[in-house]
Every structure is written in structure tokens, then in C-alpha cells.
Amino acid sequence: MNAQQTDALVVFQPSGRKGRFPVGTPLLDAARELGVYVESVCGGRGICGKCQVSVAEGHFAKFNIESRENALSEKGFKEQRYDEKRGLADGHRLSCSATLQGDVVIEIPDAFKVAGQTIRKDADTIGMVRQPAVRLYYVEVEKPDMHNPLGDAERLIKAIRERFDLGEISVAHHLKRDLQKLLRKANWEVTVAIHNPDQRPEIVAIFPGYSENLSGLAVDIGSTTIAAHLTDLMSGEILASAGVANPQIRFGEDLMSRVSYVMMNDNGQENLTKAVVDAVNGLVDQLLELAGKDRESLLDAVFVANPVMHHLFLGWDPTEIGQAPFALVQSDAVHCSAADIGLNMPQGASVYLLPLIAGHVGADAAAVLLAQHPETAPHPTLVVDVGTNAEIALWDGRQLLAASSPTGPAFEGAETSCGQRAAPGAIERIRIDRETLKCRYKIIGTEEWSDHPEFAEKSKETGVTGICGSGIIEIIGEMLLAGILSQDGIIRSPQNEVEEAVLKPNGRTWSFIVNEGTPHIEVTQNDVRAIQLAKAALYAGVKLLMQKSGITEVGEIRLAGAFGSYINPAYAMLLGLVPDCDVDKVKAVGNAAGQGALIALLDVNARERIEETVRQVTKVETALEASFQDLFVAAMGLPNSQDPFVRTRAHFEMQDFVPAESTNEGGRPRRRGRNRSR
Amino acid sequence: MNAQQTDALVVFQPSGRKGRFPVGTPLLDAARELGVYVESVCGGRGICGKCQVSVAEGHFAKFNIESRENALSEKGFKEQRYDEKRGLADGHRLSCSATLQGDVVIEIPDAFKVAGQTIRKDADTIGMVRQPAVRLYYVEVEKPDMHNPLGDAERLIKAIRERFDLGEISVAHHLKRDLQKLLRKANWEVTVAIHNPDQRPEIVAIFPGYSENLSGLAVDIGSTTIAAHLTDLMSGEILASAGVANPQIRFGEDLMSRVSYVMMNDNGQENLTKAVVDAVNGLVDQLLELAGKDRESLLDAVFVANPVMHHLFLGWDPTEIGQAPFALVQSDAVHCSAADIGLNMPQGASVYLLPLIAGHVGADAAAVLLAQHPETAPHPTLVVDVGTNAEIALWDGRQLLAASSPTGPAFEGAETSCGQRAAPGAIERIRIDRETLKCRYKIIGTEEWSDHPEFAEKSKETGVTGICGSGIIEIIGEMLLAGILSQDGIIRSPQNEVEEAVLKPNGRTWSFIVNEGTPHIEVTQNDVRAIQLAKAALYAGVKLLMQKSGITEVGEIRLAGAFGSYINPAYAMLLGLVPDCDVDKVKAVGNAAGQGALIALLDVNARERIEETVRQVTKVETALEASFQDLFVAAMGLPNSQDPFVRTRAHFEMQDFVPAESTNEGGRPRRRGRNRSR
């Protein structure tokens, strides 16, 4: 450091951006100049403490800097006051107050890292970038002056622009009505909420004094369930989460029956729209109550939904989606106001819906892509979100392909005699003893398996009520492994006493008895057929994308959604839901659609990113593809009539399954697989 | 012209912009490339005919061009079809169809000149540039395609951007609901109305097929009267005009009494707002009816008003304007939607209010500046708009200064015993016989003067009802000239029989009898005082601006507003309303505020222009200026106790007026002026 130095070199970590500034330059100004994002609500008044940084001490040969704390000015009045009032961690400085005195390397702490990563260790938002679409700015407004007759709105804008680097700012019309009273009551000190500060800044709310009162909503509107998170947009923390059944169910179980309802009934669309908007408003009330948060803080919301839910939520007629060519009203992301939809949020609150990918591939699928970004994977990667509809995305190393496939609700426990939704009492895991052919199983809500001595006692409260989706996948896989189900999905007739004890006639077919007595639970031939149809639709969709991209296998499979989280990956492959793959490369990734909604809520740049990704996606309409039918028929087989599933067979140590031809003869497989996966 | 020429030089007149283009280039494309505005609704389909141009034939030495009709391609199918259907004037070509074949000079006809000057010879919009904030675009939209699943909104936007040079286009949220039905019903051919196409294009309305259905509203909300024009935004023509009394009058005659009403009554502001919004809605209904125009065509509106009217119209509390420091909610121009205000216009209709200049200088004053643009005058120019408030603008050759002065309603016929509004039966011109001191006068609605033999018969229907503002100015001037009024405004006591016949006692003062019998009309001492106070306020305001700018006289005076249109300029100077000036340099400029509103309605660029002008204006708050009181006192004299008014005296051939000192002695002026101005 030169005694006569008038410029100092500053390097910001972790970005490594650097530049020379006159000695005495506040660090915040230097950061701004270099395009390093350092958050600030108070605009350098030493109130908000969001702009904290620390000196990285040591010798940095790369920059030729001997970086020491004394390269910054001593703590001034503002920093000392902040330290006394709110506490400043050791070594931390307010970058608005600390000025450059010499060459230095500055670390932007984790919690305030570029674009503000979240501070709280919340399971769902940890690691997400936080740069919301609505941000707060504290300002002190000049009082009116007859000699310079600017309006209150202009003086407010002037105060903001003097402190913050924003473009032309507008004031939402509804705020102007009470602006004068509010400014005077707040003694000209207010915190304004600005929507879209980076592009078209608009003041959408004004709070008296200094405030950090800002929250947002991330909602996944599913055909069956609506799930919502209330998030603190200042910390990134999830304040409360809640879900509710989609009340549209009373108008139709699945999407197409709801579209039919719209087509067949006057005010059909209005009824469905009102049902979902009312439900969301109920969730908003519930979440604000749970979190103890003011409604006026709730200034942004992100929604994801499949195309039909999306249109109905917005009050748009989904009829065109119900028929070829499946035309959407709008495929691009929707930006509108909460008032446009009738949401019980403040008047200035904005709403964002992720783009739709295609007529049957929705904003929920886009959200999965945003959360999973398979296009950054090093190998061909398949992402599958299984619900009533399966959303399928395939990254083949060059392009991202997407499609949806109508699996129907069988995977969710519907359409099968023994099936039920995942709820306490439902069988979620199951094994068949290879010798006795008796089942032992585990139900939701009880830790012990059914062959444990304490099972009866511990499961008393819920009882055993049925089989949920993941249980059905396992039982059919086990039946296949136990040799009582053929490769083409026929339950064999019993050949001996052991089999006679578990295989019972059911009209012209046979049923497999899972639980004798109360309740009586069995798997019928129809149940197997329902699962075969569902999984064939899913697999045919996946194969279609693989054919389109010319690849024959994938390096990784990610299973999104609630079903994907509970399913046993080995059994999913055993049944041929997804392509053959190393079992340890098949992963559940949780509620990726909900995660995507949260990401878009917390980071406005993520919205542009997913919009661009969706524009680049190769959309495949499965119904239009000539080969879909053949792929579907082949996929009816277990795991598949055409594809060998070598890895899956190896995993289950099987040489062969019961061939389709053998069912009439009732012969057992030459060698039974032993289940390794528990 | 070279036979092997592959490029051709084209010069567009009157702008003179020129450039070289490949032979075969459509003229419209060349014009766009050169930034020459040629209107087009159909985007080059040969439907709208708005893009007509003609060849300027002859030798243009300046450009070295021998310009001939054969420098353009022959008429093709589109042009021939247009000619057959709608007729193409001789020599006119459609610039979208005619292509360059050689060097040529192109004339953009008057009606379609740069930025589209108005076609129709309407008295009020003639010569105004027409480039409205909302414009129409005809497009043919691609049908949906499953293989490229763009939404209807995206395909609509794509169709527009393929034909027209517009940026990122958004679709107003309310249109999306019925977008799909509308496009299908219109067989994918629609005309969209786009708001703000040059900056942030937003589709605000969609009409089936080809349409030129676009209208706009220009409204001047005065304290007393609301006047509105319905204008065809495609032709510039005024379709209908109407006015209505401002119903707020029942809450208070003048501005301050309305502000008091707001302060003293719960819902006071809401009542006043509702009154004016209802009145405007009534005018909208009336205008659409009168013009036989669809409400859905009405997509833009411009309003001008003084600050109190402006705030009340927008639903803003004007209390702060009623007291120092006269803080406005917003001084800048207001952009909002008709729905924000509760106007009965289509949902996509936009509203623009010109900027306010200061706490007491409103958007009406800004509109006067826009219409008059005194800042382009070659000499110091004064613009005065006299109403209940006088708006004063002074261009001193370097800067534009503005102020308002509270003249009160005396000039409008209120506050005087004989006064009335300008209406049939009101005396508007008057002369006093210098010998008999009898009056002869002219009333509104009757051509003949009162001394004409047929006057009694012709005026029977209206009768003589009172004196309107311009009449009061003249009668007081005549009293001064006739020597019965002193320079300080005292009506003298009668000195002889002739005077006794017209000067009658009225308490401790004297009144001048204008009309004996029915109706009895007289000018009282209080009447003279009321006019003195009003004119002193106006003159003191004007003088203040002149002092501020350091000039002692103006080269030109423009009198705006209804009052300014009827006032006799010589008498206005005789009474000292405005500074001394050559009489022929004092001009009435009509309803400049209304004209300004029309200009801003027809030309979106005029809005930016006036916003910039207003930012540059030096605002003077008369109430704050120490010298105002002295100037006011001096201005109580007739014409003025300090300023000599040399030109005015010369005009009236007077050496002197009755001096203030002489009133008690009752002496007549040494020589009476003879009125030259009739």
C-alpha cells in the first residue's frame, strides 16, 4: 500500500469482480459500479443492515493484495448505531458506510451473497437465489415546496432515485388516492414496495416508516390438490404451508370431465373458476393466519398448474384444450394483477404464472424443469412427474424434449379394486414370501411390518384400509417375481395347494389375496390391467421422446411429485414404468413443481430463465405420433414386450420372467428372482 | 436512369429524406427504412388505402432526378382491386404495392403527410398532426398447430410483428378471456387496437375483420362547464361536441368553496368526484348518440382541468391544494385506464391528463401552452386564459413563465348586479353617446343594435336580460371615456341635467343607468369595484411575470378562453386587464385549452412535448411574491395608477382620463376620447 495512494483496488468475492476507486469510496458504491449485487433496503442510511460484507484477510497473490481490515475506514456513526441497535457480527461491516482506504478483498457473506441467497435453513428454500420481483426501498421524502411545485408522487420518486439505481418509476394508480395522507402521517419516511425494479419499476405499496414486511405466495394448483407456501420475501423463509383438495372435483374427477362440464353447462367455466379461486383465497387466509402475517405484506404470487387448471384459474374457457389442435389462449408466462383474478390480496399485488409448454404440458411441467434444470446434466436425463397426467422431459445432451401422457389416476390408487389414496392405513410396501406366497406389508402410519408381533396393536388406530399407488407397484412386481403373474400381465390359475390358498377365482379370471379376513384385500385381473394401461402410457411417452432424440438409454431418471417420492425405483423399472437404468441412478426429487414455483417466487431472474428454456423445448404431442400406438402395445408387457431391461433383471437376479406363452400351461419360471430391495 | 441500374434513389417530400434501395423495393418499405411516417392499417395488404403517395413529376436538379410516373411499377392486383372498390385519385399510388423501378421523387399527399395530418376540413382539428396513442392494425392470424403449440395470443402477436414494425407486444388481460371465440368467429382476420405502439405496445381491443372504428374523447373540465369533443381517430374529424354545466356547482360555486366542502363533509370528495364522473359519462353517452358511433370504438380520452377539478375527477382529495404549500398528489401527466376513474368506456380504454404546472396552474393551462406554444414566438408574448381563475403564461424570448391569479367570477358576469353569463339576451357590446350619455347596445342573439328600428321586434324572443362579461368590460370603459367614471373607479355624482338622467343615487354612491324600464339595468359602484378587483388580480399576475423576466413590454397578447374570444381587446387594455400593447397585436385565440386537449388526443408525440415544456416552465406562485400586493393596488386604477398605457391612450385619442383627484370636484376630463373601435 502506497502512502500517497489515491485509488484503491477492490476485489469482491465470490464473483471476483474488481476495480479501482478513489480512496474514500463507500464499498456499496463500488459494488454497484462493478455490477455486484449487494442488497439494500434503506439505500445507505445504515438502517437495514442488508449490505453487510467482510474483509477477506490475507495475502492474495493473484491480485497482489495484502488484504487487511484497516483497508476499510473505521466504523462511523451509522455503523456504530446499527451495531448497538441490531448487532453486527464480528468482522462484518456495512458496505454503505465502510469506505475504501487501500487495496482489499471483500467477501460478500453467504446470507447476502450475490443476489441474496436465503439465510434461514428452511428445507424447501435453502440454496435458492433470492431476488424477488417485488422489493422494498426505504426513503425520506422532501416536504412540498411552493417554489418548486412537484407533486407528492414526484417527490417520492425523486427520493427513491436519489438513493437507488432505478429507471423511470411509476406509481400504481390506486395508491395515489391516499398518498398525501399517508406521507404526512408517516412524517415523510416510508418504505415503498416496487414491482419489477430492474425493468419497469412500479410502486405497488407504501408502508409508513422502515419496514421489512414483504411476503409472497407459491401455489401448485393440481387437479386433485392445491398446495401453497407463504414465504417471507426478505429472508426467503417459508412461513407457512397448507394444502386443500381442489373443489373442482365435484364437477369432474379428471381434467377432461371438467372440460366437458364447461362445454355442457351454462356458466360451467364460471363455476369451476369460482371454485378454484375461492379455494386459493381460503388458503391465503389460512396461511396468513398460520404465519401471523399482515395481508398487506402479500404482494406477489406465483402459480403453477396444468393447462386446464391454469385456464380455469384465470377465468379462461378450456374448451379448446379439450380437442385437437389443443389451442391454448396464451402459452407464454402470464403477468397480471391479483385483482384480475379476484384474489383476496392487496390491490397492488402481482401474479405470475409460469409458461405453458404445450396444450397438455403445463406450467407445472415448466416448474419441474426450472427446479430440476435437466439441461445442465452431464448425461441423458429423464424427468418424470407422475400424477393423473404424466409430464415427461428428456434432456438428450443437446436438446430438451417434453411431452405429457394421459396415465389416468391408477397410480394414485383410483380405478383399482384395492386402491386408495396415500393415507394412514394404506399399504405402501409389500413382499410376497416365495415359498408360502403369503404377503407381509407395511402401512402408512405404522413403523412395523405386518409380520411384527406388535403390528396388530400398533396399527389398531388406522387399521389396514387398502393399497396406495406405491404399494400397488410393489405388489404387482412381487407377483411377477413370485411367478404368479405372467409377463403379459395375466394372473395364473393355481397349480398346487400353496397357490390355491392365495389365488381365488373371480369370474373368468383369478385374483391374488393380499389380506384374508378384515379387510379383505385382493389384486384382481382388472387391477393389473389398469396399472398396465397407466404404465404403458407413461413408458410409451418416454420412449417416444427417446426415439425423437435418437438415444436408446438414459443415464439418470428423476421421479418428481408425491408418487415419485414414495415409489420404489427398482419396482418402477420392474414394471416398466420407466426405461431400464442403473437402480442407483433413479432418484425421487420430491415436489419439483412446487419447488419450481418457489424458485420463481424468490428469484425474478428465474422467470426469464424458464421462459427462455420453455421457448427452446422441443414439444412432442404424443397423440399425433404414429409410433405411439406400437410403443404403447409393447409397453403393456411386464416390464416390456420389446425392451430387454437387462439392468433391472440383473438387479432382481432373474434370468427370465414367466413368458406370456406359459400362462396357460401354468409353469413356474425356471428360477425365481430374489428381491434385494427393501 | 441507367438501364443496368439495380439501385434506385428515392426522395420523399416534404421531408426531403432520401436513400437508395434495390429496384423492386416497395415504397412503403423504403419510407419505413428512412423513418418517413406513412400510415398503414392493413400492413401492406392493399386494403386500407392509408399509405397513398404520388410521384412528383419533373426535373429535380437538387437531387439530379428526372422524376416520372414510370419510375414506379405498374399497378398490380392489389392496387387495381383497391381502385375498383374504393377509388384511387388520379396519380395516387398505394405505397405498399408500388415498387421502385428508377430514381424518383415521391410526394406524401397532404392528407397523409408525415404523421398523418387531418383530412377533413374541420374548424377545430384542421392542421393538427394525427398520430394517436391508440392505432389500428389489421392482421390475418395463423390457425393453431399442434406441432408448434403457441397460444392464440402468441400467434396474434406474431401476425402483428410480421407485418408491422412494433416492439414487444402485450395483450390486455381482459381480452384473453374471449380471445379464442373471437378469433374463430372472425375467421382469424381481425383488426387490433394497440395502445402506445411506439413504446410499450399493448393490444387493448380486437375487432373482427377489417375495421377503422376508432374514436377518442377530448374533454375540458372547467369549474363551471364541462366541454367534450368526440373525435374520429382515423380521420381526425370532430364527430360531435357537447357541453354541460359542471354539476359540482351545487356543492360550491368556486374552487375554494368546493375544497371547503370536501374538508367539512364526510364523503365530500366522493360526492364531488361522483358528480363530475357522472357528468362526463352523460356527455359520453350523448356524444356517441349524436355521432352514431359504437361505444367500443372509444378507446382513448384526454382530459384537461385546473388542479382542483383534476384531483376531484381522479378521486383524489384536493384539500392540500386549498392551503399552502398547495401540494399536488401528482404534478406529472396522468396515464391511467378509463376503468380506474369509473368512466363508461370500453375496458381497454386509456385516459391521459396533461401535466399540472403548479398548485394553482393546471392541466388546462398546460393545454393552452400546447395549443399556443408561445415559446416559438419571435417576440415576448403573453397568453392569458381568463376564467374564474386567470392562467397567465409569458414567453420572454428565453424562458416560459407561468402563474395563475384568482380573478374570481366577475368577468363571467357573476358578482355584479347587472351581470350574467353569456347567453341570448345578454348585452355583449355597448356604447355611450358622449353628448346624451344614453347607451346603445347589442345583445347576444340579435344582429341589430338597440338603436335600430327593428331591434324591439327582433329581440322580442330573448328580451334584454343583463350584461355579460365582455359587455361589462365595454360599459366600464365607455363610462371612463365618457367622463362619468374616475381613473380610480368612482362613479361621479351628476353635475347637470344630462348626467342626472343617467346617474342615480344608490345609498352613498351613484349608479349608471344602462336601460331604463324593463328590465332595469344599471352599473353600480359595487359592480365597478368587482371588475376592478378582478382585473387588478389579473394585471398584477401579468406584471409579476414581466418583472421576473425583466421585460417592460410584450410584443403580442393572446387572449384564450370563451371570455377572451368575445372581449374587445382595446377595452381590455383601456381597463388595464392586460399590459399596454399595439391593439392589433392583441388577439383572441379561442378555446385554447380545448384545442390543446384535442392536439394531445390526436398526436401522442404532443404529449411528450407538453410534458417537456411544463418541466421547463418557470413556475411563479403569485401569493408568495412580496411585490404582488403593490402591483395589485396600482392595478386597481383605470387602466393603472402607475403604468402610462401610452398606446391605449393613443388608440382612444385621449390625452388624459379623469384624474382620481378630480372626482370630488366632479370635473369632466379635459377632452373626451372618441371610440374608434366598433
pLDDT digits (tens, 9 = 90+) for A266-286: 999 999 999 999 999 999 999
Q: What is the pLDDT averaged over residues A78-82?
A: 91
8 Å CB contact of B340 and A174: yes
On whether both B479 and B520 belong to a single domain, the answer is yes
Alpha carbons A31 and A53: distance in angstroms, whole number:
11
Q: What is the mean pLDDT of residues B332-353?
A: 97
In a domain, A462, yes or no: yes
In B342-381, alpha helices (H)? 363-372
Whether residue B329 and residue A173 make contact (CB cut-off 8 A), yes or no, is no
* Nearest residue, CB atoms, A147 vs list B147, B329, B621: B621
Contact A151 B177 (CB under 8 A): no
B418 and B517 in a single domain? The answer is yes
Please report which residue ranges of B226-306 form alpha helices under DSSP H: 255-264, 268-291
- pLDDT, residue A671, reads 40
User: How far is CA B360 from each of CA A421, B188, B403, B547, rounded to the nearest angstrom?
Assistant: 70, 51, 8, 20
Find the mean pLDDT for residues A527-539.
Answer: 95
* Interchain pair B154, A325: CB under 8 A: no
User: pLDDT for A140-191, tens place per residue?
Assistant: 999 999 888 899 999 999 999 999 989 999 999 999 999 999 999 999 999 9
B241 lies in the same domain as B161: no
Q: Does B173 touch chain A (CB under 8 A)?
A: yes
pLDDT digits (tens, 9 = 90+) for A467-492: 998 899 999 999 999 999 999 999 99
- Residues B514 and B604 both lie in one domain: no
CATH number (domain holding residue A327): 3.30.420.480
A246 and A309 housed in the same domain = yes
Say if the Cβ atoms of A152 and B330 lie within 8 Å.
yes
Task: For CA atoms B40, B46, B50, B56, give the dihedral sign.
Answer: positive
pLDDT number for residue B658: 52
Q: Mark whether A395 and A542 lie in a shared domain.
A: yes
Residue A337: which pLDDT band, with cuts at 50, 70 and 90? very high
For residue A485, being part of any structural domain is answered with yes
pLDDT of residue A516: 85
Kindly tell me the sign of the dihedral angle through the C-alpha atoms of A168, A172, A176, A180: negative
Residue B180 near chain A (CB below 8 Å)? yes
* Cβ contact B153–A329 (<8 Å): yes
Element (H, E) at B433: none
- Chain A residue with CA closest to B324: the answer is A146
Q: Between A140 and A85, where is the model more confident?
A: A140
pLDDT for A665 equals 41
Report the residue from A146, A320, A330 with minimal CB separation from B153. Answer: A330
**Burial class of residue A306 (count of CB atoms within 10 Å of its CB; 0-12, 13-18, 19+):** buried
Which one of B143, B182, B331 would you mutate to disrupt binding with A, by most A Cβ within 10 Å of its Cβ? B331
Q: How many helices (H) and strands (E) does chain B have?
A: 19, 29
Residue B59 falls within a domain, yes or no?
yes
Q: pLDDT digits over A558-577, tens only?
A: 999 877 888 899 999 999 99
Cα(A565)–Cα(A571) distance, integer angstroms? 13
Q: Which residues of A touch B619 (CB under 8 A)?
A: 147-149
For residue B526, give the amino acid letter.
N
Do B325 and A171 count as a contact with CB atoms less than 8 A apart? no
In a domain, residue B536? The reply is: yes
Tell me if A371 sits within 8 A of A391, measured CB to CB.
no
Domain end, chosen from B208, B231, B261, is at B208
In which band, very low, low, confident or very high, does the pLDDT at A220 lie, cut at 50, 70 and 90?
very high
- Nearest-neighbour CA in chain A from B517: distance (Å): 52
Domain identity same for B305 and B451: no
Identify whether the C-beta of residue A338 lies closer than 8 Å to the C-beta of residue A421.
Answer: no
Pairwise CB contact (< 8 Å): B171 & A330: yes
Bigger pLDDT: A580 vs B146: A580
Single out the residue of A379, A368, A404 nearest to residue A389, CA to CA: A404
The yes-or-no verdict on residue A505 having pLDDT over 70 is yes
Amino acid at B106: I
Interface of B with A in 603-632 (CB under 8 A): 619, 621, 624
Total number of domains in chain A: 5
Residue B516's pLDDT band (cuts 50, 70, 90) = confident
pLDDT given for residue A1 in this prediction:
46
Nearest to B329 among A180, A326, A624 (CB): A180
CATH code: domain of residue B180: 3.10.20.880
Q: Are residues A541 and A401 in the same domain?
A: yes
The rounded distance, in Å, linking the Cα atoms of B401 and B380 is 11
Q: Which residue of A has its CA nearest to B179?
A: A329
Specify the pLDDT at position A261.
Answer: 95
Q: Is B22 within a domain?
A: yes
* From A173, A315, A330, residue closest to B151, measured CB to CB: A330
Can you give the residue range of the structural domain that contains A469? 411-529
Which of left, alpha, beta for A10 (phi over 0: left; psi -120 to 50: alpha)? beta
Query: Residue A269: what residue type?
Result: Q
The partner residue sitting opposite B145, judged by closest CB among A320, A325, A337, is: A325
B317·A180 Cβ contact <8 A: yes
Q: Give the number of beta-carbon pairs within 8 Å between A and B.
A: 130
- Interface ipTM: 0.86
- One domain, residues A303 and A249: yes
Contact residues on chain A for B366, CB-CB shorter than 8 A: none
CA distances to A274, B19, B29, B130, B162 from B165, rounded to whole Å, are 40, 19, 10, 19, 8
CA distance A513 to A504: 7
pLDDT of B119 reads 33
Q: CA of A412 to nearest chain B CA: how many angstroms apart?
A: 29
Dist CA A114 CA A131 (whole Å): 9
Of A172, A191, A208, the position where a domain reaches its end is A208
Query: Is any Cβ of chain A less than 8 angstroms from the Cβ of B153?
Result: yes
- Chain B closest-CA separation from residue A624 CA (Å): 8
Question: Counting runs of H as helices and runs of E as strands, what totals does chain A give?
Answer: 19, 29
Are A631 and A544 spatial neighbours (Cβ–Cβ below 8 Å)?
yes
* CA A313/CA A307 separation, integer angstroms: 10
Report CA Rg, chain A.
30
Question: Measured between CB atoms, which of B154, B356, B619 is closest to A332?
Answer: B154
**Contact criterion met (CB below 8 Å) for A112 and A39:** yes
The stretch B188-206 carries a mean pLDDT of 96
pLDDT at A656: 56
Record the cell numbers describing residue A377, joined without a space.
446434466
Mark which residues 459-478 of A lie under 8 Å from B by CB: none
- 3-state secondary structure (DSSP) of residue B580: coil
Region for residue A293 given its phi and psi (left: phi exceeds 0; alpha: psi -120 to 50; beta: otherwise): beta
Highest mean pLDDT among A12-16, A661-665, B568-572, B611-615: B611-615
CA atoms of A389 and A665, how far apart (whole Å): 37
Q: Give yes or no: residues B227 and B163 share one domain.
A: no
Mean predicted lDDT score pLDDT of chain A: 89
Looking at the fold, whether B31 and B106 belong to one and the same domain comes out as yes
**Which ranges in B65-136 belong to alpha helices (H)?**
77-86
* Average pLDDT of chain B to the nearest whole number: 89
Whether residue B676 lies inside any domain: the answer is no
Q: What is the pLDDT of residue A117?
A: 33
Q: Is residue A309 scored above 70 in pLDDT?
A: yes
Among the candidates B524, B546, B565, a domain finishes at B524
Is A150 an 8 Å CB contact of chain B?
A: yes
Tell me the mean pLDDT in the region B175-187: 97
The answer for A 354-393 residues in CB contact with B (under 8 A) is 356-359
Q: Pick the residue with more confidence: A620 or B39?
A: A620
φ, ψ (nearest 5 deg) of residue B44: 95, 20
Of A371, A326, A334, A121, residue with least CA distance to A235: A121
CB contact under 8 A, A326 and B146: yes
Q: Read off the amino acid at residue B586.
A: V
Confidence of residue A116 (pLDDT cuts 50, 70, 90): very low
Strands A390-395 vs A586-590: parallel, antiparallel or unpaired: unpaired
Asked if A147 lies within 8 A of B181 by C-beta distance, the reply is: no
Q: Which of A140-144, A424-428, B555-559 has the lowest mean pLDDT?
A: A424-428
Residue (of B385, B382, B324) closest to B556 by Cα position = B382
Q: How would residue B579 be classed by pLDDT, with cut points 50, 70 and 90?
A: very high
pLDDT higher than 90, residue A609: yes
pLDDT at A114: 31
Compute the C-alpha angle A86/A91/A92, nearest 5°.
45
CA distance B144 to chain A (A): 6
- Structural domain includes residue B125: no
Q: What residues in A contact B358, CB-CB < 8 Å?
A: 149
Parallel/antiparallel/unpaired status of strands A298-305 and A350-353: parallel
Asked if residue A397 is part of any domain, the answer here is: yes
Cα(B674)–Cα(B434) distance, rounded to whole angstroms? 8
Spatial separation of the C-alpha atoms in residues B539 and B642, rounded to whole Å: 12
Residue B621 has its nearest CB partner, among A146, A171, A621, at A146
A228 & A156 share domain: no
**Per-residue model confidence (pLDDT) at position B4:** 56
- Long-range contacts at B452-461 (CB < 8 A, ≥ 24 apart): B459/B425, B461/B424
Question: CB distance from B168 to chain A under 8 Å?
Answer: no
Q: Using DSSP bridges, classify how beta strands B225-232 and B215-221 pair: parallel, antiparallel or unpaired.
A: antiparallel
Q: In whole angstroms, give the CA distance from residue B305 to residue B364.
A: 5
CB of B342 within 8 Å of a chain A CB? The answer is: no
